[in-house]
Every structure is written in C-alpha cells, then in structure tokens.
Structure 1
Amino acid sequence: MPKSKAGMLSTKKIDVEVSLNSNALPSHSAIGIELSRWVLTLSNQATLTGKVELMFIMKKKKSSTMDCTMTFDLLAKMVQTRIAVKRSSSHKTKSLD
C-alpha cells in the first residue's frame, strides 16, 4: 500500500483489490450449502499501522484493526448485510528531534 497523508480530523479512503481463493477452505466448509441458496458470506481482517504526528512535536505509532463480515445475495447481485468492527491501539510516544 502506498504511503499517504490525511489532514487533521479527516479520513483517507483507499481502494484495495482482493483475490478470492477457495483452495484454502477446510474440507468441512459449508460453502456448497451457501452457494445453493445463492448466498455468499465473506469474512476478513485488515490492520493498518502508521505514525501520527501531533502538533509537529510528537509522533505516535498507531494501528487500527477492522474485522468485517459481508453477506452477498448472488441472485440480486447485492450486499445483504455488512458488519464491521474497528479497534484502535496506540504505542509508545516519541518526541521529534
């Protein structure tokens, strides 16, 4: 992911391309049952880590983790439900020299 900046009290949207691979599914997966109902459920987790600069004096390492579950209706070609949980954490504070 390229380096980027976001202004104070703002957010930065990024587009991410995802590859789906069914080879890693366990043998007891219920994907066949879901697909026979024309429904597909995907779960993922993403973590972003970076430095936040506070008033040009201090830098803080921050990370944010998002767990997301999406259910797609394949017949209607729509997202049925979407649940996202976001957690943030901070690390040690370091002064700029």
Structure 2
Amino acid sequence: MAKGYWVSVYPATTDLGELTAYEKLAGPAVRAGGGRVLSRGGRVVAHEAGITQRVVLIEFDSFEEAAAAYESEAYRKALVALPDGFERDFRVIEGVD
C-alpha cells in the first residue's frame, strides 16, 4: 500500500512565532492520525519555479490515513488557529509503492 503525505509550503510567512497556537493543536492531531513529521521548516534549495520559504512534510502509512487526518475534528480545530496572513499551499498526496 502506498504511503500518504501532507506537503505544505508557506510562501508568505512573516512571523513564524504566530504559528504557536496552530502548532500546539496540529501536532497532537497529526500524531493521533498516524502522521510522522519528516521535515518542518528546514533548509531548502529551490530550483526552477520553486520557493525557499517554509516547507513541512508529514508521512502517513496510507493516502487514506493522510486524507482522514486532514478531515479529523482535531485538525479542523488546528486550522481555525492558523493566523490571518499565512498563505500556504497544502496538499495531501499519494506516494509510490
């Protein structure tokens, strides 16, 4: 079974300290959904049309698990805590077997 991933890129972040409330809720929601954080805001080398801002990569045992975690009540509460002005490109993707 192919793994599932959350890929989140924040092209317009100003003050990462404003993410504290979101992170306090999102971390437990991700773990409860079976997610494992592989990368969170580390170094980025962008090529072609890529951007170098914050990137978060979270792995789940399956695509279905990743999709369900996003739809969970716990993660919905975390989304409400995202501050205004934080633009992000968020995707749930399926890995390869």
- Is the structural similarity TM-score above 0.5? no
- Relative contact order, higher structure (CA 8 A, sep 6+): 2
Band the TM-score falls in, shorter-chain normalisation? under 0.3
Q: Greater helix share, 1 or 2?
A: 2
Q: Greater strand share, 1 or 2?
A: 1
TM-score by length of 2: 0.22
